[in-house]
Copies of this chain bind each other. A is one copy, B any other.
Amino acid sequence: MLRLNKKERMRVWENVMQAIEVYTARVAEHRVTPQLDPDAIRVRLCRFDFQEALDPGRAIDFVVENLWNQQVHTPHPSYFGLFNPNPTTMGIAADTLVAAFNPQLAAWSHSPFAAEVEMHLVRAFASRFGYDPASCDGTFCSGGMEANHTALLAALTAQNPDFGEQGACSFSAPPVVYVSSEAHHSFLKAARVSGIGTRAVRVVPVDERLRMNTAVLQDGIEKDRREGYLPVMLVGTAGTTGAGVIDPLEELASIARDHNLWFHVDAAWGGAAALVPELRPLLDGCEQADSITFDAHKWLSVPMGAGIFLTRHREVLLRAFQVVNTYMPKDATGLPVIDPYAHSLQWSRRFIGLKVFLSLAVAGWPGYEEAIRHQSRMGEALRVALRARGWKIVNDTRLPVVCFTDPNCEEARHLEAIVAEVLRRGEAWISTALIGGKPAIRACITNYATTDHEIEALVATLEKARSAATKDSKDLKDLKDPKDK
């Protein structure tokens, strides 16, 4: 029942491959957004009490139908969303091979090829970010959250070798961490779950360009020291989630050095700029970071999730994570290798790196360079088209995140009504976000297959949605204030 017979397997592979081909070929013709109805899904799932075996073909049909109808289609060229990509063909192939060969990355000796591929990639990416590949280290993670959590643990361990054994109370003073108000909230979660608490996170305001305000930062560090806190880590973001902004990394590196802080760069999305010569200077300073988060499942377009944590301190991961035990295989004793489990938050885990390896091998750096450049150009095309139609761009970045408002009405309610109308129509996925504390509409080119055609269609859809929202709010106003008539 668990490994089907050959005939059944052949049918399963055929069903799956056909489903994927149809999805790849036709997703662009489909609505981007689902109708949200939890009860409808729950009713359909109720039939699955697992009392009886179901035909494999019917099971796959059920799943495929519901994936078509009940998700935002991140592979859709009109998905202008949250850094979720259109997955690479080689990435899909890799996840399939990984599932079938099922290597397990805990002890090196169990999966030498998998472990070495991941370390090869760690060095390759480290090198692109300006680290010395000969002396760096890193690990693949479930995603950016785990990578940023790893960064915090590395910083705490580097500052206080007793952290692992004695815990957060063994610091000489309460540790504090600096992020900008535009940084990813995973640092708040990391602070919660690593025992320093969210109160340890100092949220530094941003300047008018939405970059961390370094004057306020410096004052904050000095104030914290005076008040008996222990500054431990400074986070620079390279490509904020909201507005695609890059903090002044060189300046942050210098401040971190002056104050003996662990400098971490969260380049989960924007790090891909390192692969394009004309964008690479935006990341200057990241080579001075003590650690870097980079998510291959964002701009490198591999399937979820492939976080990468990089550090130029070779020993810190072992210091942070190594736990002695008696039952792990010792076959590799004496070999110059690292056991993955001694090196990351996870214990046994899947071979995350293969989807990156196969995608990168087949596209090469040049293929990725072209894809990233293309998306950046599409971002610029969207900016130009929006301005031409009288929208106002409110963020300042060369990366393809475009935040904008309707200058006729910048109220959150109006912008949310526009977005709701776009989602209702199903022609694109966009969202609202608070950018520097103010509401805006946000559209990001996350898909390498997005062309001018989808950019034009998005702007047309936005125009219709703006008209509808403007009319609605006028009608509403007329209804509410009849005396104004």
Contact = CB atoms under 8 A, between A and B. Distances in A.
A240 to B, nearest CB: 9
Interface in A51-74: 51-56, 59-60, 62-64, 66-67, 69-72, 74
Contacts of A345: 145-146, 149, 189, 193
A269 B357 CA distance: 31
Interface stretch (A105-113, A224-232, A391-399): A105-113
Interface in A376-399: none
A442 to B, nearest CB: 7
A29 to B, nearest CB: 16
B143 A242 contact: no
Contacts of A186: 347
Interface stretch (A4-12, A209-217, A248-256, A466-474): A4-12
Total copies of this chain within the assembly: 2
A436 B388 CA distance: 75
A17 interface: yes
Interface string A7-33: 011101101110111011100000000
Bin the interface of chain A by size. Answer: 35 or more
Contact of A100 (B10, B20, B116): B20
Contact of A363 (B1, B111, B165, B305): B1
Given A88-B3, A350-B303, A323 B143 contact: no
A223 to B, nearest CB: 20
Contact of A355 (B91, B99, B193): B99
Nearest to A298: B348
A59 B128 CA distance: 22
Interface stretch (A258-266, A280-288, A328-336, A454-462): A328-336
A197 B349 contact: no
B71 A449 contact: no
A474 to B, nearest CB: 24
Residue in A36, A99, A146 whose Cβ sees the most chain B Cβ within 10 Å: A99
A172 interface: no
A241 interface: yes
A153 B368 CA distance: 40
Nearest to A194: B195
B116 A102 contact: no
Contacts of A102: 74-75, 84-87, 303-304
Contacts of A304: 98, 102-104, 348-351
A93 interface: yes
A90 B56 contact: yes
B48 A101 contact: no
B89 A2 contact: yes
A365 B51 contact: yes
Contacts of A479: none
B67 A101 contact: yes
Contacts of A60: 93, 97, 358
Given A84-B348, A89-B3, A301-B2, A165 B53 contact: no
